[in-house]
Amino acid sequence: MSVSLPSGFRHLKVSACLVTTIIAIPVIVTLLDWKQYFLFAWNPFIYEWHQFWRIILVQLQFQNESEVVVASILIITKFKSIERVFGSLKLAKTLFLLYIYNTFAITLIYSLLYLVLGWNVFLPSGPFGIIFGLLHIYNNTTPTLYHFELLFNNVVNMRPFGEVVKITLSDKFTTYLLVTILFFNEGLISSTLPSSIGYFIGYLYWNELLPINDASLSFMDSYFSKSIIESNNTDSLSEGADDQDNQPDEQRNDTPPRTLGQQLFDTFRR
């Protein structure tokens, strides 16, 4: 019996939908030339023009193509393991709660920054808070498998007191490299602030410190139960069809091949 996990997004419907959304929405927005509707700063969009709908749209799509690529790679290679731990229903609830809490947090913090401190901070569009909220959950659900060291024996200037300078990294090194790129991609403030907010909300969610949790989203249970049953039936039918297609091949493989002499002998015997 094989113990390897299914490849791709098999049985990971929510992760597949998340990646598709991250890629598809920016493409559609670009084709329709709607990027300006996803820009956000408290002044003038909210304070002067009262365009509160921008608060809802700002987390729906990345403006930068590199952010789309980095976020997609993170979900495809790393964060989809969260769905294997949580299940599709719990991950869907988690994404919904991260979106709602990040929306309220962004509204509160950016309004205070402008109204109290006079800082009109630009907020880049994209689900920065959701991605970094998933990062905290990923760190707590995925164990570190191994560590490795980088030794700098030949770098003389980096050897104080004759000690060998070394850097210890883990198998999560690529994950942290990608999130670092995403963290600073829009500058020291623009992308770091919503990313930090999202990571903190992920911490609160993981430690069950938020007032609304998964149990409050019971309306999603019936929908996912029906969709899971339908997907399981579809998978079982497709697997059954594959098994039926493979049965003739298996039967032919069970029959030993006959030599030319045996075939001629059988012809005259009949």
Sequence-distant (6+) residues with CB within 8 A of 201 are: 98, 101, 102, 105, 129, 133, 210
The number of residues in the chain equals 270
The answer to whether 65 touches 56, Cβ cutoff 8 Å, is no
The answer to whether 92 touches 214, Cβ cutoff 8 Å, is no
User: What span, in angstroms and rounded, lies between the C-alpha atoms of 245 and 185?
Assistant: 50
pTM of the model: 0.81
Domains of the chain: which residue ranges?
13-229
Instruction: Decide which of 1.20.1540, 1.10.730, 1.10.10, 1.10.530 is the CATH code for 13-229.
Output: 1.20.1540
pLDDT in tens, the chain (270 residues): 444 556 678 888 999 999 999 999 999 999 999 999 999 999 999 999 999 999 999 999 999 999 999 999 999 999 999 999 999 999 999 999 999 999 999 999 999 999 999 999 999 999 999 999 999 999 999 999 999 888 777 665 555 555 667 888 999 999 999 999 999 999 888 999 999 999 999 999 999 999 988 888 888 887 776 766 666 555 555 555 555 555 554 445 545 565 655 655 565 455
